[in-house]
Amino acid sequence: MRSDGKPRASWSLRAAALAGMAFLHVPLFFIILYAFSVEEKSFVFPLPGLTTKWFAVAFQREDIRAALGLSVRVALMSTAIAIVLGTLAAAAVWRSRFFGRESISLLLILPIALPGIITGISLRSAYNLMDIPFSFWTIVIGHATFCIVVVYNNVLARLRRSAPGMIEASMDLGANGFQTFRYVILPHMATALLAGGMLAFALSFDEVIVTTFTAGQQTTLPIWMLSELVRPRERPVTNVVAVFVIAVTLVPILIAFYLTRDTHEAAGSGK
């Protein structure tokens, strides 16, 4: 990207970079490719033929629609919770210096560093202990634990970059606390919030591990895909759904990247 003024990369380095990119992206390519396969029992290469009929089939299936609906609702709700709590936490850590501030910061970031399986098991035990039946909300709480982190990171990075005098300047010019929040703090954070929200949505939408422990009998889209892999029936349908998930998660991430580009912010930090 920034080749100007720097020596050109050697051939071996370029080859290694290409191999790395291929390793990351070739599987994605095959997922997309097999969504168009006419062979429904197994994955064979080369493809015996190409068809788009699986898109229509996938669209007709009730179980897919239900899973998709649940996933979207869970992602929206987790993102909403993450935006409120993540912003408040970032504001608290930025503005005031209190006992245990660094620990709170660490505790907030921990869920994303912990393996999902730990988060999942602990949430499940907690639900059991408190006699909370599995529901939409148990999934949402599970997802919110890691969604908060991306919002928190984005907002905190934006706040740390802002001139410390901005709030004082606003008060000095006659704005009270609410007006300062409305006209200065909120607009200043808007793109960071949006980016954090997009990432949180994408994270929640394709989450499997924590969901497995907190969903009970409910099926989100990723869980549906996992169960579908075990019983081979209309296999390309799973790939069609995968293509859809790729699109739904990639677009928000690209938007978030665009919103925070040219800044040294933590848009993608986290998962």
Partner 1 sequence: MSNPDSTAVSFSSVSRVFGEVRAVDNVSFDVGEGEFFSMLGPSGSGKTTCLRLIAGFEQPDAGRILVHGRNVEGVPPYERDVNTVFQDYALFPHMTVYENVAYGLMIRKVPSAERRRRAEEMLEMVKLAGMGERKPSQLSGGQRQRVALARALINHPSVLLLDEPLGALDLKLREQMQDELKSLQRRVGITFIYVTHDQGEALAMSDRLAVFNHGRIEQIGAPGEIYEHPATAFVAGFVGVSNLCEGALAQRLAGSTRPFAIRPEKISMLPASGAAPDGAVTVLGKVSAATYLGSTTRFVVALEGGGELTVVRQNSGGSLSVTPGDGVRLCWSRALMQPLQGPAK
Number of residues that bind partner 1 (CB under 8 A): 20
Determine if 171 is a binding residue for partner 1 (CB under 8 A).
yes
Single out the residue of 176, 247, 250, 258 in contact with partner 1 (rule: CB under 8 A): 176
Q: Are 90 and 156 in contact (CB under 8 A)?
A: yes
Task: Tell me how far, at minimum, the Cβ of 163 lies from partner 1, in Å.
Answer: 5
Cβ nearer to partner 1, comparing 13 with 190: 190
Determine if 183 is a binding residue for partner 1 (CB under 8 A).
yes
Window of 55-63, 178-186, 205-213, 221-229 that interacts with partner 1 by CB under 8 A: 178-186
What's phi and psi for 36, nearest 5 deg? Answer: -105, 10
Count the Cβ atoms, other than its own, within 10 Å of residue 44: 10
Determine if 178 is a binding residue for partner 1 (CB under 8 A).
no
83's enclosing H/E stretch is helix 62-95
Residues 6+ apart with CB under 8 A from 127: 133, 134, 138, 214
Determine if 172 is a binding residue for partner 1 (CB under 8 A).
yes
Range 186-215, binding partner 1 (CB under 8 A):
187-188, 190
Q: 86-102 in b/e burial notation, b at 16+ Cβ within 10 A? A: bbebbbebbeeeeeeee
Task: Tell me how far, at minimum, the Cβ of 257 lies from partner 1, in Å.
Answer: 20
Determine if 154 is a binding residue for partner 1 (CB under 8 A).
no
Q: What does the H/E/C string look like for 91-112?
A: HHHHHCCCCCHHHHHHHHHHHH
DSSP structure class, residue 184: I
Task: Tell me how far, at minimum, the Cβ of 130 lies from partner 1, in Å.
Answer: 44
Determine if 271 is a binding residue for partner 1 (CB under 8 A).
no
Judged by DSSP in three states, 182 sits in: helix
Task: Tell me how far, at minimum, the Cβ of 251 lies from partner 1, in Å.
Answer: 25
State the residues that interact with partner 1 by CB under 8 A.
162-166, 168-176, 179, 183-184, 187-188, 190
